[in-house]
Amino acid sequence: MIKHSKLSTALAVAVFLTATSASAALSVTIGGTSVAGEGLKSSVAGAVTTDFNAGYPLSGYLGGGVVTGSQAGDWASPPDDTSSYFSVGPSTSTPGEITLASLSSYFGYYGGSPDGYNGIAFYKDTSLVGLFTGADLAIAAGITGNGDQTVGKFWNFTALNSDDYFNRVVFSSGSNAFETDNHAVLAAVPEPETYAMMLAGLGLMGFVSRRRKNNQS
């Protein structure tokens, strides 16, 4: 089920991590809003959240699986999350890929028991925008990526400029498992020059329409 979340802004600890491309980067912050039974959700106003409570399949999702609770050796629910969540690993399938409806400037997720063999990648079509290993994610959160099931954090990834916008997110895990919930997405806002082109186009349409009316009169 997809819900719109407009939650209050929480204090975030900013950590900057460069992507694999020399010209592209995403900023990473840690911080979300606590919701009973759901763990943490995005604090970014206007972000659209997928909470997995409607099960699978979900539009745009391929691979991974939706699970609940904990199953020894396979998956473990993030702290304070008694709802359904997304799990990627050999027991479900890996990778887990999300094709977004449009270019986006922000993506966030609630994750539990982070491991060094987890990873997340961001693409604009087939071009890699950002790649973060489990070690990168642990450093960003100021934790040790050793699968501690008492640890749950909300990771926020934000494009620094339009070159970093993305429309595909891929979760991967070398073992069981990469458990996440409350995936949040914010569509990219057109750049000022795009607005200018749109306005110019509307103006041209209006000019053509007036000329047609004048020619008919």
Residue 134's CB: how many other CB atoms inside 10 A?
21
Q: How do residues 8-33 score in pLDDT, each as one tens digit?
A: 333 333 334 444 433 348 999 999 99
Q: How do residues 121-174 score in pLDDT, each as one tens digit?
A: 999 999 999 999 999 999 999 999 999 999 999 999 999 999 999 999 999 999
CA-closest candidate to residue 41, choices 9, 75, 69, 64: 9
Say what the pLDDT of residue 199 is: 46
Maximum average pLDDT range among 24-33, 113-122, 187-196, 199-208: 113-122
Residue linked to tokens 């004048």? 214
Residue 177 · residue 92 · CB < 8 Å = yes
Let me know if 175 is exposed, middle or buried by CB neighbors in 10 A (0-12, 13-18, 19+): middle
CA-closest candidate to residue 169, choices 92, 56, 63: 63
Q: How do residues 39-94 score in pLDDT, each as one tens digit?
A: 999 999 999 999 999 999 999 999 999 999 999 999 999 999 999 999 999 999 99
CA-closest candidate to residue 43, choices 4, 9, 3: 9
Give the rounded percent of residues in the chain with a pLDDT score beyond 90.
75
Using CA atoms, how far apart are residues 150 and 125, in angstroms rounded to an integer? 36
